[in-house]
Homo-oligomer: A and B are copies of this chain.
Amino acid sequence: MDLKTLNKFLQEHFPQGDQYGVLESVEDGSAEMRLPVDDQHLRPGGTVSGPAMMGLADVAMYAALLTRIGPVALAVTTSLNINFLRKPSPEADLIATARLLKCGKRLAVGEVYLSSAGEEEIVAHATLTYSIPDNRG
């Protein structure tokens, strides 16, 4: 699946998905998404909320997974582990870089690095697992 097809698929299956970010690039087994941060994503103190970061990580990893298994709307997230490392900037977009560590027949595992656009240090690191249905598609 190329970027355009993937974007269309994500929009159809995650109608609220745009609040979780925009797909910027994909390669085999990896994807990069950008979340244009605005007030709905902020917490008091001006930091991006945890759920906004977790939502972005999940959709980015899902996109990376789709590059391997094709459009399987029924793949489901079974677990997410995230470490919050630094406060993201409230004024910069949030970038998620996701890549698959394993894509088996039934289970996929990947990791996601989150950073503020223009900054080098990552703000959070997430590991996610997905269950892949027997009948894909």
Chain A residues with a Cβ under 8 A of chain B: 12-16, 20, 40, 43-45, 49-52, 54-55, 58, 73, 76-86, 101-102, 106-107, 109, 111, 122, 125, 127, 129, 131
- Which residues in B have their C-beta under 8 angstroms from that of A52? 51
Report whether A51 and B58 are in contact in the complex, using a CB–CB cutoff of 8 Å: yes
What are 30 contact pairs spanning A and B, CB under 8 A? A12-B44, A14-B43, A15-B44, A16-B40, A16-B43, A16-B49, A20-B51, A50-B55, A51-B54, A51-B58, A54-B54, A54-B80, A76-B84, A77-B84, A78-B107, A79-B79, A79-B81, A79-B82, A79-B83, A79-B84, A79-B129, A80-B80, A80-B81, A83-B102, A85-B102, A106-B131, A109-B125, A111-B125, A125-B127, A129-B129
